[in-house]
Chain A
Amino acid sequence: MAMMIPYGERVTPDDRTVAARPLMRPRPAGRTLRIVVASLLAVWFALPLVPLLLWSVASRWSAPAALPTEWGFDGLAAAVTAGAVPAFGRSLVLGLVVAAVATPLGAMAARALARGAVPAPRLVSGILLAPLALPAFVAVMGLTIVLLRARVPGLIGVVILLVAAALPYTVYTMRVAYAAHDLAYEEEARTLGASRGHVLWRVHLPLVAPGLARAAFLAFLVGWSDYVVTVLVGGGTIVTLPLLVASFAGGVGNDAVVAVLSLSAIVPPLVLLLGLGRFGRRYPTARYLTGPTASRSPKGAP
């Protein structure tokens, strides 16, 4: 039997739903589930690092023991002796050079594609993305011969190939950035008296800066973590961190060295990623102010 509610004291739909369960707050069960899933993911990502961290400060760790049986810095010492420091430096420079070349190239290609200034844009996009689909080993084997015949020095050959490998990432990232970019900002700047150079430095680049940072990060990773190209085209003369890791990992009893080298290989990307999160954001939002206008979402944000 329905309960009698006096006229004028009717329960509104708002009373029934909003008071009992505010719309925006997840139900307790859902919340727990999310926390559990997030924790599992965090463990999944962090777990591989634990043995690495332990090995890097272990001198001996025999099979059944849960923890290293002998602590020490033998791994670090061996890594330094093996030339880890200059290898780290070479990798860093290689990553930075690849980023410095591939990012502007990718940005220019993406802008031309986004503006429709390219004939057969689908074909061109396809070619630019092709290095992703091609097994790196196949392409590199063929290109090594070409580069050798053309008498291109090994180091330059490595950079050229790595830039080509990084281009799909920078082009794709910048296409997304330019899709959200409004050319009218640049036209406005020009009518206000800004030359092409001023428009580039004061309007265009600041507006696509977050995209550029993301693209440069990906390009850096290509150079930083490359093994195949450096080995085959560099002919073993350019010893980078991945080469060192690989050579030690191939041997037996080098777990401590490999751990130290692997950990040091994580550091630069991690630092860049944190920097990206800090500086790669878009522009100040209205949090700054009070009032109803403050809650508006920033216009033009992707």
Chain B
Amino acid sequence: MSASLALDSLTKVFDGAVAPALDGVSLSVDAGECLAILGPSGSGKSSVLRAIAGLDAPTSGRILVDGADVAGVAPERRGMAMVFQRPLLFPHLSVLDNVAFAATVAGQPKREARADARQFLELVQLEGFGERPVTALSGGQEQRVAIARALAARPRVLLLDEPFSALDPELRTDMHALLRQICQQLNPTIVMVTHDRDEAAVVADRVALLSAGRLLQHDTVERLYTRPVALAVARLMGGRIELPGEVGNGVHRSALGAIAAPDGESWPEGPGMLVVRHEAVHVAPLESAVPDGMVAVEVVVADRRARGPRAEISLACGEAMLEAEVPASRPLVVGQRAITHIPRSACTVVPLDER
């Protein structure tokens, strides 16, 4: 049922637009893998999905499903199923007939199509809802039905276009759990568009980060956070620490001092920006021992902002600024001196300019 998917320098220029909506996007998704396409509004995420679904024709580039080019193949023959942000349940059909839609248009007898649909309603934990009109569902239930309807089409690739962004946080968490359960049971190939980093991290195996129609990085969630390939990636992933400097002989020199590249990594020589996740920065009392593999930097607390159970603190190290998060109960006050321990393995150097 699941298929692999590859995009080969996919480009889309809308009529009358100056900049392309998609600019040479290439990536691949293995069969049974869940890829999240992450990016800010207007980055071209949905354009990728619409091109894959066949709803918009790309200006150039290829889309390969199991190695076969699907250019010119009508959407209904591509074996994709799409779940949009709005559930788009057909209002003239009952919940069950919505889920049975794909089987019905494929020519299956009504009784079989409905029996099949019932299984998928069970899968999304809505057994017994089949006879209801779709207007009798809550927002979360509607989206569950939409997912059941898409899965019942036995898609080779399941396309999800910000499917949970209209739901409240609790429901969204439920839906993430549901999606993981579906992945375990059916192992579908999923391409999901989202603007939510946490959602991408929870649901996806790998993430493709888009910005202004370009693919910035296609990698595992962990590497996107810890090994961004560009400053834009670090910023889009919520990175807050940037230290300009210069790399010489594999050692980056900045206001923090000299930091050698972690084992197995090599940094390009010349000017470079050191980026570190603020989550990796550990604030320790003065004169505490420096653990192995850590870089110790003496700092002064410059600012403290309450964030519920956590507190964000800014740390001054000469001219440079570091950021860290500590439990709200830590009695660190502005002006206090401390030592920060930064794991060398958490450090990455990216080119100085935003490209």
A residues contacting B by CB (< 8 A) are 182, 184-185, 187-195, 198, 202-203, 206-207, 209, 282-286, 288-289, 293-294, 296, 298-301
Contact = CB atoms under 8 A, between A and B. Distances in A.
Interface stretch (B78-86, B198-206, B295-303, B319-327): B78-86
Interface residues of B, number: 34
A164 to B, nearest CB: 32
A187 B53 CA distance: 9
Interface in B56-96: 74-82, 84, 86, 88, 90-92
B216 interface: no
A299 B105 CA distance: 24
A187 B54 CA distance: 10
A192 B138 contact: no
B336 interface: no
A298 B86 contact: no
Contacts of B138: 293, 296
Contacts, number: 99
A195 B104 CA distance: 12
B55 interface: yes
Q: Which 4 A-B pairs have the closest CB atoms?
A: A284-B133, A298-B135, A191-B82, A190-B75
Contacts of A193: 76-77, 79, 81, 102, 105-106, 153
Given A184-B84, A187-B82, A207 B105 contact: no
B34 interface: no
A191 B135 contact: no
A193 B84 CA distance: 16
Contacts of A190: 54-55, 74-76
A43 B27 CA distance: 73
Nearest to A203: B90
B135 A284 contact: yes
Interface of B: 53-55, 74-82, 84, 86, 88, 90-92, 101-102, 104-106, 132-133, 135-138, 141, 149-150, 153, 159
Nearest to A297: B135
Contacts of A184: 84, 86, 88
Given A193-B79, A293-B136, 11 more contacts: A184-B84, A185-B90, A190-B75, A191-B75, A191-B153, A192-B81, A192-B150, A193-B105, A203-B90, A206-B92, A294-B136
Determine which residue in B79, B105, B133, B138 has the highest number of CB atoms from chain A within 10 A of its CB, and name it.
B105
Contact of B80 (A191, A207, A294): A191
A291 to B, nearest CB: 9
A191 B155 CA distance: 9
B135 A188 contact: no
B128 to A, nearest CB: 12
Given A206-B92, A283-B91, A300-B91, A191 B53 contact: yes
B159 to A, nearest CB: 7
A293 B101 contact: no
A185 B149 CA distance: 13
B132 A289 contact: yes
B27 to A, nearest CB: 20
A298 B91 contact: yes
A284 B133 CA distance: 6
A288 B132 contact: yes
Nearest to A300: B91
21 contacts: A187-B75, A189-B105, A190-B74, A191-B53, A191-B82, A191-B159, A192-B76, A192-B105, A192-B150, A193-B76, A193-B77, A193-B79, A193-B102, A194-B76, A194-B102, A202-B101, A283-B133, A284-B135, A285-B135, A289-B132, A293-B141
A206 B88 CA distance: 14
A300 B153 CA distance: 24
Contact of A188 (B78, B79, B84, B141): B84
Given A192-B102, A298-B91, A283 B135 contact: yes
Contacts of B88: 182, 184-185, 188
Nearest to B137: A293
Contacts of B149: 192
A182 B54 CA distance: 18
Contacts of B54: 190-191
Nearest to B129: A289
Contacts of B102: 192-194
Contacts of A285: 133, 135
Nearest to A187: B55
A284 B136 CA distance: 9
B76 A191 contact: yes
B91 A207 contact: yes
A284 to B, nearest CB: 4
B62 to A, nearest CB: 20
A288 B55 contact: no
Determine which residue in B53, B92, B136 has the highest number of CB atoms from chain A within 10 A of its CB, and name it.
B136
A300 B77 CA distance: 28
A168 B234 CA distance: 58
Determine which residue in A182, A185, A192 has the highest number of CB atoms from chain B within 10 A of its CB, and name it.
A192
Contacts of B153: 191-193
B168 to A, nearest CB: 14
A190 B90 CA distance: 13
Contacts of A301: 91
Nearest to A209: B92
A301 B135 CA distance: 10
B5 to A, nearest CB: 14
Contacts of A300: 91
A195 B75 CA distance: 9
